Amino acid sequence: MSNSLIKLENIKKVFYTEEVETHSLSDITFTINKGEYVSISGPSGCGKSTLLSVLGLLDTATEGKYILAGQDVSNISKSERAKIRNKEIGFVFQSFNLISDLDVEENVELPLTYRADLTKDQRKQMVKDALEKVDMSHRAKHFPSQLSGGQQQRVAVARAIAGKPSIILADEPTGNLDTKNAEAVMQLLDKLNAEGATICMVTHDPRSALRTGRKIDILDGRIVADKTTATKKAEGTFTPAAKSALIEEPSI
Amino acid sequence: MMIMNDLKYAIRLLSKKPGFTILTTLVMATGIGLSVFLFSFLNSLIFKPLPFENGDSLIQISASQNGVWKVGTLNLHDYYEIRTNLKNLAEFGSYKNVSLNVSGRDGARRYSAVAAEPNIFQLTRTKPLVGREFTTADDQVGAENVVVIGYDVWQNQFSGDPKVTDQSLRINGESHRIIGVMPEGYFFPISAEMWVPMREDATRITRGAGGNVFGLAHLQNGVSLSDVNGELAVIMQRLEERYPKTNNGIGAYVSPIPQLAVEDGAPVVRSMQFVVFLILVLASINVGNLLFSRAIERGKETAIRVALGAPRSRLISQMLWESVIICTLGGIIGFLVMIWGLEVTEKTLISFTIDRPPFWQTFGIDSYTITLSILFVISAIIFTGVLPAWKNSGSDFNAVLRDGTRGALGKKAGKLNRRLVISEIFVSMTVLIAAAVMLVANFRATNADYGADPKNILTAQVLLIESKYDTPDKQTQFVKTLESSLQNNAGIGDVMISSALPGVVTATPTMALEGKEYTKDNGYPRANYIITTPGSLEKLGVELKDGRYFNSSDDGLDKKSVIVTDSFVAHHFPNESAIGKRVRVVELDGDEPNWLTIIGVVKHTIQGSPIEEPGKTPSVFRPFSQAPRGQMTVAMKIKTDVEDVTRTLRQTLASIDSELPAFNVELYDETISRLTAPMLFGAVLFLIFGTAAAILASSGIYGVMSNTISQKTQEIGVKRALGAVEERITKEFLMAGFNQFLWGGVPGLIIGCAMGFAMSQMFGMGSADLLFIAIGLVIVIGGVVMLASYIPTKRALLMEPSAALRYE
């Protein structure tokens, strides 16, 4: 039985405007196995967020094949995509994207309410478990505006894991946070991965990238490197920033 | 300098988006223009004090019937009772409207005039321009006949001769010495051109022999109209107990003369003012919302200004200038359109009356209109500018700068938008129900069936001179002579003579039905009492439903036959034939009951406004020869042309009696049009208000909701990322829209229906009509809300979730 969770083959994404045709992704091919902790890095505008959108079925590829959990999701309908997003994928966004009108508990419960197969009690239990995992149970009745950035992101992580998805897709999860809060969120993701969660994270931050087991580098919409971080460390193929981060890497 | 910079910046922003600027300016022009127009119109029509010294305290005492304010005259003796017992009024006077036939070398002419107590001019603090006013000596029975003439009569008949007081006029067959000329523009109390002493003294005549008058007086200082009306109610109650036969259901009320035009339609007038005020509120909400949305769009720019040290007052000032420009421009455009509207209105109102319109009705720019316009513009600026500016300038700009997300600002904006939508739904529901009730009532009135065919008929009024035609035989003989003379003329077809043609308001005396007992609590019913020559009803096209029309066998003072309308039968003889039943006119009975046998039933004829009580009152017709009178309307089928028939009528009248003029000569269908003109005017007015309200409300609701949902695009993206299917999101937003519809619609429905109910009572509309209107508007406004939720949601769902997440 195959261990692969995500399989991309020759994915292309082209944006069309009236005058310009922008190739955001070209010939992207890679596989993510269950339990892997992958980071996608690259400079601004290189296409990493577009790649994450395609991975998360938030956008469709112009060409190529995408297999998620053994199912070809390249050409499925909008409603099927929604169902798969709901069951298989958990999102963590840079700007948290919590619904300001809902309290913490309701925010975490939100994706579960889109499932018909869960009873209210089951949902409540899953929300409770998720909030406990991120250590936010004590803030269940607070609204997002009453929380710090770090706390909001922890709630966002709880929302991502509440439905026990196959993979967590995180888009610059520490981008809006200070060092202390960023570290806490990263520790949370590390812990989730250690417990078996598959995580794919887009990040600018070399230190965050170093914590993952595998690092995919993208430049101008193409994969320029796809190596385990152990290999990278051994090869010494890190950018100066990554090197400095490596030296200062805190022990986890 | 700073202000100039802010002003320039605001102008630059507005000129960058001309579509937005034109739209918001036109919305404000509509709101301000319509509201100022109606307030100014109503002020000129009914609220402005009469243009005399102490004009604001001058009131008229009129009779009411069964609690309904109806401009009716008071029994002279009742007036004396009121005058003796009412403590809160001063300077009593009385008058009655009369028509005067003035004859001279060039023929006879009729003038609108007033027979009044000697103090009529003192009540208005106006002295004659030439000559003198009345004295108590002039008012004595047997004194020399005198007359005071109006400025126009003086100019037209006497070429402004300063020695006019040396001359006489032959009025109603008798010579009257001219004692004075009133100043230009003086037509008190409404449109009088001549004034004669009334010479009626209740102390010298019996109650039954007294005439009917209107009372006049000044309010004492610090006394309100309701105080006086309360006092009057007690006096009239006492009179009703003392004279149950004549005073059953008769009351009295005081009102400033201009307000008499609306009788007890004050709730309708207030509703109209409320409706246009709400239209202004709607316009302000719409523009305020658009400006607020722009402010949100510029949130980042504002945040940068704050970061650079801009004080909050500067931010408010910058945002406020846009409102100032839009509301001022809108106000100016609205003001100009309103002036045009008032000019059109003045011309239209002149067509409502065959005489001159009430003298105080001058429409145009006055201090009230200018003050109100400025006040409305300032209110609109505050409403559209200050609140959004204050709200937006106080947001958490650090959050905006830090992460570029909507964060707390989005939530605040969302709350405000929800409130705006609820307010819009509430206001539009209220406005549209009120407007629809008035629109439906007025259109119905315009298209009402008056019960006669008015086509190709010329009508004129003739008033016999009392002193000459002082017996029933003389009056009957005159009518017979006139009818046969006209009938023999080749240019005239059928001739019909009646005290009031269908459509025209007439007297409604109390009636009694044989075999029915009347107690005080179950008072005598009233009916229109119309005198008509045999054949007239048939020739006018009043449809016979049962029995027969009048014929020559009904002629004679000793005959006692009547025809009633089917509405009379339905009311008094349900499920049985009325033919052969007997009725009597209580007020006209002598010592013995004078029973009249019903010989025919005709279709209901509307006598007066179809939306008011007189229009629904059943009628009783009586042959002219059984109850002759001095006032009549002559109707002639035109065989040739109007001028020819008019000339023939005048010549025929002159050949019978040279002192009798034909007056109010006009086509019958013009009479009906004139009678329905106010209703048509009202219908058009409310069509404009209703349309403006509907457009403002629909566009406003759509605009605010669309804006709200647009601001939630990111939220839609998040929900889709979390796996929500499109149907679920659509349902969610539709439910949110429905929720807002309930919050605004239910209170709007309650208040709108309460207003609509009050108005429908006035207009005689049934509850079913109101229910139909309410249901219709619930569907329309509900539909707008649902569409306003559905379309923007669908638009947001067309985006890929990734795009929605990044949507700014």
CB contact under 8 A, B723 and A85: yes
Residue A152 to residues A94, A107, A117, A155, B153, Cα–Cα distance (Å): 11, 10, 28, 5, 89
SS3 content of chain B, % helix, strand, coil (to 5): 55, 15, 30
Whether pLDDT at B67 is above 90? no
Rounded mean pLDDT, B382-393: 75
Q: Which residues contact B379 (CB under 8 A, 6 or more apart)?
A: B280, B284
Q: Is the pLDDT confidence value at A245 over 60? A: no
Q: What is the pLDDT of residues B417-429, one digit of tens each?
A: 788 788 888 888 8
Q: What is the pLDDT of residue B397?
A: 58
Q: Does A78 touch chain B (CB under 8 A)?
A: yes
Q: How far apart are CA B70 and CA B64, in angstroms?
A: 5
**Residue labelled with tokens 């037509």:** B187
What are the structure tokens assigned to B736, written together?
């949110």
What pLDDT, on a 0 to 100 scale, did the predictor assign at position B223?
87
Residue listed under structure tokens 């299917």: B725
Name the residue among B404, B721, B800 with its Cβ closest to that of A91.
B721
Q: Are B690 and B436 in contact (CB under 8 A)?
A: yes
What band does B527 get if pLDDT is binned at 50, 70 and 90? very high
Higher-scoring residue by pLDDT: A49, A235: A49
The rounded percent of chain B whose pLDDT value lies above 90 is 35
**Which of helix, strand or coil describes residue A10?**
strand
- The mean pLDDT of chain B is 85
Exposure on the CB side of residue B765, measured as CA atoms within 13 A: 26
Torsion B236-B237-B238-B240 (CA) sign: positive
Q: Which of B405, B719, B723 sits opposite A95 (nearest CB)?
A: B405
Tell which of B718, B729, B794, B800 to mutate to test the A interface (max A CBs under 10 Å): B718
Q: Which of B252, B214, B231 is nearest to B68 (CA)?
A: B252
CB contact under 8 A, B801 and A145: no
Of B192 and B435, which is predicted with more confidence?
A: B192
The residue among B225, B236, B234, B231 whose CA lies nearest residue B264 is B225
List the single range of A11-20, B188-197, B570-579, B680-689 with lowest mean pLDDT.
B680-689
User: What is the per-residue pLDDT for A252?
Assistant: 33
Q: Which residues contact B305 (CB under 8 A, 6 or more apart)?
A: B314, B315
Q: From the CA of B718, how many Å to the nearest CA of chain A?
A: 7
Q: Is the pLDDT of residue B274 over 60?
A: yes
pLDDT tens-digit readout, A175-208? 888 888 888 889 989 988 998 899 999 988 888 8
pLDDT of the residue at B407: 39
Check residue B805 and give its pLDDT: 82
Which span out of A194-208, B199-213, B275-289, B530-544 was modeled with the highest average pLDDT? B530-544
Residues 394-423 of B with CB under 8 A from A: 402-405, 407-408, 410-411, 414
Spell out where B302-354 has E strands: none
**Binning pLDDT at 50, 70 and 90, where does residue B258 land?**
confident
| DSSP H helical ranges for B659-763 | 668-711, 713-721, 726-763
Is residue B98 left, alpha or beta, with left meaning phi > 0 and alpha meaning psi from -120 to 50? Answer: beta
B710-762 confidence digits (pLDDT tens):
778 888 888 998 889 899 999 999 998 999 999 999 999 998 888 888 877 77
How far from each other are the two terminal CA atoms of chain A, in whole angstroms? Answer: 33
**Cα separation, A88 vs A71, whole angstroms:** 11
Give the mutation candidate from A14, A85, A107 for the B interface (greatest B CB count, under 10 A): A85
Lowest mean pLDDT among A167-176, B313-322, B739-748: B313-322
B705/chain A closest Cα distance in angstroms? 17
In 3D, which of B196, B106, B104, B109 has the Cα closest to residue B664?
B109
Q: Which of B708, B797, B805 to mutate to test the interface with A (most CBs of A within 10 A)?
A: B805
- pLDDT for A238 equals 53
Name the residue type at position A95: S
Q: Is the pLDDT of residue B625 over 60?
A: yes
Residue A243 has pLDDT above 90, yes or no: no
**Cis, bond preceding B189 (omega within 30 deg of 0):** yes
Q: Is the pLDDT reported for residue B544 higher than 90?
A: yes
pLDDT of residue B101: 87
> Which residue in chain A is spatially nearest to B726 when comparing CA positions?
A79
What span, in angstroms and rounded, lies between the C-alpha atoms of B527 and B566?
A: 12
Out of B402, B410, B728, name the one closest to residue A114 (CB).
B728
- Which pLDDT value is given to residue B697? 78
Lowest mean pLDDT: which of A55-64, B133-142, B675-684?
B675-684
| Overall average pLDDT of the B363-376 stretch | 90
DSSP state at residue B510: B
**Continuous H helices in B17-48:** 18-42
Residue B218: the pLDDT is 93
d(CA B223, CA B111): 37
Higher pLDDT, B560 or B315: B560
B411 → chain A, closest CA residue: A100
User: What is the pLDDT at residue A250?
Assistant: 41
Interval B72-83 mean pLDDT? 88
* The pLDDT of residue B549 is above 90: yes
Contacts of A95 in chain B (CB under 8 A): 403-405
- Contact A111/B801, CB-based, under 8 Å? no
Q: pLDDT tens for residues A71-128?
A: 999 989 888 888 898 989 999 988 888 888 789 999 999 889 888 888 999 999 999 9
Name the closest residue on chain A to residue B727, using Cα atoms: A79
The pLDDT-based confidence of A239 (bands split at 50, 70, 90) is low
Chain A contacts of B717, Cβ < 8 Å? Answer: 58, 97
* pLDDT above 70: percentage of residues in chain B: 93
Q: State whether residue A15 sits within 8 Å of chain B by CB.
A: no
What is the structure's pLDDT at B404? 40
Q: Which chain B residues have a beta carbon less than 8 Å from that of A114?
A: 722-725, 728
Q: Is B404 in Cβ contact with A95 (below 8 Å)?
A: yes
Q: What is the mean pLDDT of residues A161-166?
A: 91
The pLDDT value recorded for residue B275 is 77
CB < 8 Å from B in window 96-135 of A: 97, 99-101, 110-111, 114-115
* CA–CA gap between residue B709 and residue B505 (Å, rounded): 57
Q: Is B719 on the interface with A (CB under 8 A)?
A: yes
Q: Does the structure show a pLDDT above 80 at B198?
A: yes
pLDDT tier, B155 (very low <50, low <70, confident <90, very high otherwise): very high
For B460-509, the pLDDT digits (tens) are: 999 898 888 989 999 999 999 999 999 888 889 999 999 999 988 888 88
For residues B48 and B71, give the distance between their C-alpha atoms in angstroms, rounded to a whole number: 19
User: Does B735 touch chain A if contact means CB atoms closer than 8 Å?
Assistant: no
The DSSP element (H or E) to which B724 belongs, if any, is none
Q: Is the pLDDT of residue B592 over 80?
A: no
Residues 6+ apart with CB under 8 A from B637: B456, B457, B492, B493, B494, B495, B539
More confident residue, B635 or B209: B635
Taking residue B203's Cβ as centre, other Cβ atoms within 10 Å add up to: 6
Cα angle B111-B113-B533, degrees, rounded to a multiple of 5 = 65
Interchain CB distance below 8 Å, A101 and B414: yes
Mean pLDDT of B227-240: 90
Which chain A residues have a beta carbon less than 8 Å from that of B726?
78-79, 82
Instruction: Please calculate the CA angle B257-B260-B261 and round it to the nearest 5 degrees.
Output: 115
Calpha distance B479→B458 (Å, rounded): 17
| pLDDT grade for B591, boundaries at 50, 70 and 90 | low
Query: Is A93 touching B (CB cutoff 8 A)?
Result: yes
A58 to chain B, closest Cα gap in Å: 5
Out of A38-47, B188-197, B309-318, B614-623, least confident range: B309-318
